Structure 1
């Protein structure tokens, strides 16, 4: 296979797919039109296609031989509740919704990969499963439902790409071990007794108790967790009161916890419960804690990362460099696939300052240098055609 020729010949079509999706974004678990559009792009290929897998997901199987192993490639396709501020021809046509994380690019790359591999089916050394996943951005995550529905049945390895505005266009970023953190959420309700601001002695002030709560939460990472391990505890919301001279009855504190190791996650949860109990005894309030575990940590398999590097280490056309990159405290539901089979999640750079594609993910001006999609498709093609 002439990878350079194949990718170049389909580049304009790939851009068109990405731009169509960018103009017509849909939120998590609401991707009705998007899943139909994806199906229309692959329905004429020699694939065994299953629709509505675990929700709005699609599974497309390129079967080559019963004697071969099977590799799955995954792309997500949901958008975010963000109003786009880019002035581009393919700007979102849905008010308050945009592809601000690159999922449109992920899907365009995988559709293009499916077309190229299908055209060379008889020369492939493995079977390929194309996973088009809904709802990565919202708990419980589309990956969870798709795994439960059997999307990985018969799969030996799984790989996924995430474009990145942190890395220059065409760079392949890999990570051994942990790639993304577990992403949890917490919510405290601190209930006191309201009263007049001039008579605090007659009330039980939940605001003061909550202020202490927030201070104590900051000691978990600094004074409870082993400093050689990672944990983030962030109180991102603090809501209380309706007037300057009223002591409210209720105060609420919400935030996120990010960890990698399960024992650290348990340690943080235990400490947060201890703080809850201590707050009740110290301030006379009633304190309730709701802790919701989000996506597990993404843990790459060394063997799978080795395979990716071996497949792309020489003779690349669009991959400009291959660099080991830092792990991220952001969450990603690709973790559910890696809990079932070996695999790796890696980055493709799409940052080009001249094109102003260096805004962070989830920003209203996020965009990509579309040339980076060539490197993404190349990485998939080399991975599959060189699979050992």
Structure 2
């Protein structure tokens, strides 16, 4: 296809692992080599958020060759494909994110990234391949489902976020989307499992940067200074009391300080310091709470020492909250696709965040995890690791999950 400069060998991955193959229909099994090819082409050519031009070109090339209606250039590089059944009914959206990460890949595989410092280290290449396979299958089987399916190829999930601008561009309208589903390949679960739960599945995320301003001086004459390092150290310790003493212990929340920079010499008291952090929580009621507490603590400590500060604080993604009815649909499908009922992990949560949350705020839906790790194959590194990879058998499993969800959804939710 468009992205590959040379043929990509896929023979070693064209067979689906026996543990998942039994419940995958023959037509999707036959599509598996193509799914692997798409995924490897995308993996070799990762692109950062809002720069997914070649990725979008591959997608539109496929859609055009299949005669699928689509819109492109949404939120810069986003694409929406629409497939109508032969029978009218509700509208279901399926979301797939497209972007890579600013990571140098360390995997020694034929399909390793060809772009220095950029890598698909979170499975988005697999998400696009699964979505393309779903589009193709549904376009060839329009009599087998009811209603309309909109496939949303979304840019910039890793930041600054493409879901919200896609919604603002009207992707949930014309026709109006009734419900939405999506999946994330998940190396925290083994191949052949599905993680899904009603309610909050992923965390809301907020971020802050803060510059502290003191008064520098000689390390031997501290009384003439306002030590920005001492101020910063006290702030960092005090911020940990927010979760420990202000959050109900039955709730889950995290305040992490990831950066603290100050000083230039062993005998110089720093006149400024910089710190930044991330906040995570499941309960949407916490919106605004952490900003107030963080600002109050920083202000109080600075006042005690005569320092000043500049605080930049912003809300990135809200908590990802699944609708109970849509979770029931996905769970019922998963129980047909995974090897045993034990393969459905019912209380699968993570403090990681996802801008799929904005879609789920707009329409009821379900986002689920599809286990993709294979220890024997060496594909079990965590997400965002420079050696991240996954068992490509999960690609066919993802298409089967989406197709079955579409088929069940149209009948279950038709008027």
TM over 0.5: yes
1:66 shift after superposition = 7.6
RMSD of aligned residue pairs (Cα, Å): 1.7
1:79 is aligned to 2:100: yes
1:145 is aligned to 2:165: yes
Of 244-253 and 72-81, deviating more is 244-253
Taking structure 1 as the reference length, the TM-score comes to 0.96
* Conserved 8 A contact 2:236-2:257: yes
2:83 to 62, 75, 90: 62
1:186 to 205, 208, 223: 208
- Provide the C-alpha distance between the structure 2 equivalents of 1:315 and 1:211, rounded to a whole number of angstroms: 52
* Conserved 8 A contact 2:88-2:148: no
Structure 1 runs not aligned, ≥5 long: none
1:320 shift after superposition = 8.7
1:170 is aligned to 2:192: yes
Taking structure 2 as the reference length, the TM-score comes to 0.90
1:229 shift after superposition = 1.1
Deviations 1:165-198 (A, max 9, x none): 1111121111111011111111121101111111
Which aligned pairs between 1:306-317 and structure 2 lie closer than 5 A? Answer: 306-314=328-336
- Provide the C-alpha distance between the structure 2 equivalents of 1:4 and 1:335, rounded to a whole number of angstroms: 31
- Provide the C-alpha distance between the structure 2 equivalents of 1:125 and 1:320, rounded to a whole number of angstroms: 30
Deviations 1:282-336 (A, max 9, x none): 1110122211111111000001001112334336689992221421111100001
| Secondary structure at the counterpart of residue 386 of structure 2 | coil
Deviations 1:102-137 (A, max 9, x none): 000000001001101100013321210011111000
* Conserved 8 A contact 1:65-1:127: no
Deviations 1:229-274 (A, max 9, x none): 1111011100111111111211011010011223324322221121
Residue equivalent to 1:122: 143
Residue equivalent to 1:375: 397
1:40 to 41, 61, 75: 61
- Provide the C-alpha distance between the structure 1 equivalents of 2:400 and 2:319, rounded to a whole number of angstroms: 27
Cα distance 1:317–1:275, how it changes in 2: closer, same or farther (>3 A)? closer
Cα distance 1:66–1:5, how it changes in 2: closer, same or farther (>3 A)? closer
* Conserved 8 A contact 1:279-1:287: no
Deviations 1:44-100 (A, max 9, x none): 224220001122100000022683101111111100000101010100000111000
2:44 to 11, 23, 47: 23
Residue equivalent to 1:195: 217
* Conserved 8 A contact 1:259-1:265: no
Residue equivalent to 2:233: 211
1:231 to 253, 262, 268: 253
- Provide the C-alpha distance between the structure 1 equivalents of 2:124 and 2:300, rounded to a whole number of angstroms: 44
| Secondary structure at the counterpart of residue 292 of structure 2 | helix
- Provide the C-alpha distance between the structure 1 equivalents of 2:336 and 2:381, rounded to a whole number of angstroms: 31
| Secondary structure at the counterpart of residue 376 of structure 2 | helix
| Secondary structure at the counterpart of residue 309 of structure 2 | strand
* Conserved 8 A contact 1:348-1:372: yes
Structure 2 runs not aligned, ≥5 long: 1-22
| Secondary structure at the counterpart of residue 6 of structure 1 | helix
1:274 is aligned to 2:290: no
- Provide the C-alpha distance between the structure 1 equivalents of 2:155 and 2:316, rounded to a whole number of angstroms: 16
1:101 is aligned to 2:101: no
* Conserved 8 A contact 2:200-2:283: no
1:221 is aligned to 2:243: yes
| Secondary structure at the counterpart of residue 391 of structure 2 | coil
* Conserved 8 A contact 1:55-1:142: no
Residue equivalent to 1:51: 72
Cα distance 1:315–1:191, how it changes in 2: closer, same or farther (>3 A)? closer
- Provide the C-alpha distance between the structure 1 equivalents of 2:271 and 2:218, rounded to a whole number of angstroms: 11
Residue equivalent to 2:27: 6
Cα distance 1:24–1:274, how it changes in 2: closer, same or farther (>3 A)? same
- Provide the C-alpha distance between the structure 1 equivalents of 2:182 and 2:166, rounded to a whole number of angstroms: 15
1:110 is aligned to 2:127: no
